[in-house]
Amino acid sequence: MTIYQDILYSIKKGQKLLAVLIDPDKFSLENTSSFFEKVNESIATHIFVGGSTVEVLATEKLVHEIKKYTELPVVLFPGDVTQITNKADALLFLSLISGRNPDYLIGKHVDAVSKLKGSNLEIIPTGYILIESGKVAAVERVTNTKPLSRNTIRNITDTACAGELLGMKLVYLEAGSGAQEFLSAEIIMRVKNELNVPLIVGGGIRNRKQLDTVFNAGADLAVIGTAFEEDELFFDELRK
């Protein structure tokens, strides 16, 4: 079964999914073993690896290390073409559909082809939607795009649906890493209601209660990064 089929199957069974996001720039390789002891005992189902600005080869080294300590699927969530490595299991082939920068709608994808041809990575086309969160997100800075306003929910749902109509297999609603406010239940609920493909939600989720809010609103897969970086004790709240 592919990773994507497995996501669809989990949704069918009513199982919620959780990805631990690791930014190679902020993670120290020496911690991999102890960090993954906690991951493996938690309800996490996926490992996402990526960041906005990552040193060349850092992703590859990190994925290689992670693979020694967990059986969970490792999915690339790359900020740039240089973060693509064959050592991972899958790649979110992201299109930043909230923005209007052609580089992040098609340019980077063209640049990635030579790396993807002949690779074993499962490639999952993903519509990536950045929504304002009260502070300028790294994605906004790096991609030079504006996020969608939280107040224009119609525009958010239409953007998500346009992504699906373009053939994207997943939609990722992003409040930005370290967002002060995670996305409201209303936004998640409204998007989920109109979408047929699985919905990923991330940005600013810092405790179990917020995670449950995101799941109850309709997120199929939640992504958490900063809360684990800041305090690994968070894993205790997320034991299996």
Q: Which stretch binds ligand 1GP (CB under 6 A): 101-109, 115-123, 170-178, 190-198?
A: 170-178
DSSP-derived secondary structure for the chain: --HHHHHHHHHHHT--EEEEEE-TTT--GGGHHHHHHHHHTBS--EEEE--SS--TTHHHHHHHHHHHH--SPEEE--SSGGG--TTSSEEEEEEETTS--GGGTTHHHHHHHHHHTT--PEEEEEEEEEB--SS--HHHHHHT-PPBPTT-HHHHHHHHHHHHHTT-SEEEEE--TT-SSPPPHHHHHHHHHH-SS-EEEESS--SHHHHHHHHHHT-SEEEE-HHHHH-TTHHHHTB-
Query: At its nearest, how many Å lie between ligand 1GP and the CB of residue 18?
Result: 11
Query: At its nearest, how many Å lie between ligand 1GP and the CB of residue 206?
Result: 8
Query: Applying CB under 6 A, which of residues 75, 97, 124, 227 lies at the interface with ligand 1GP?
Result: 227
**Nearest residue to ligand 1GP, scored by beta-carbon proximity:** 202
Query: At its nearest, how many Å lie between ligand 1GP and the CB of residue 14?
Result: 23
Residue type present at position 166:
L
Query: At its nearest, how many Å lie between ligand 1GP and the CB of residue 152?
Result: 21
Query: Applying CB under 6 A, which of residues 60, 89, 132, 174 lies at the interface with ligand 1GP?
Result: 174
Query: Does 126 interact with ligand 1GP (rule: CB under 6 A)?
Result: no
Number of residues that bind ligand 1GP (CB under 6 A): 14
Query: Applying CB under 6 A, which of residues 4, 142, 158, 178 lies at the interface with ligand 1GP?
Result: 178
Query: At its nearest, how many Å lie between ligand 1GP and the CB of residue 52?
Result: 9
Residue type present at position 73:
P
Site for ligand 1GP in 3-42 (CB under 6 A): 21
Query: At its nearest, how many Å lie between ligand 1GP and the CB of residue 23?
Result: 8
Query: Does 133 interact with ligand 1GP (rule: CB under 6 A)?
Result: no
Task: Name residue, tokens 């064959």.
Answer: 86
Query: Does 204 interact with ligand 1GP (rule: CB under 6 A)?
Result: yes
For CA atoms 169, 92, 189, 234, give the dihedral sign.
positive
Query: Applying CB under 6 A, which of residues 225, 234, 235, 238 lies at the interface with ligand 1GP?
Result: 225
Query: Which residues make up the interface to ligand 1GP (CB under 6 A)?
Result: 21, 174, 177-179, 202-205, 223-227
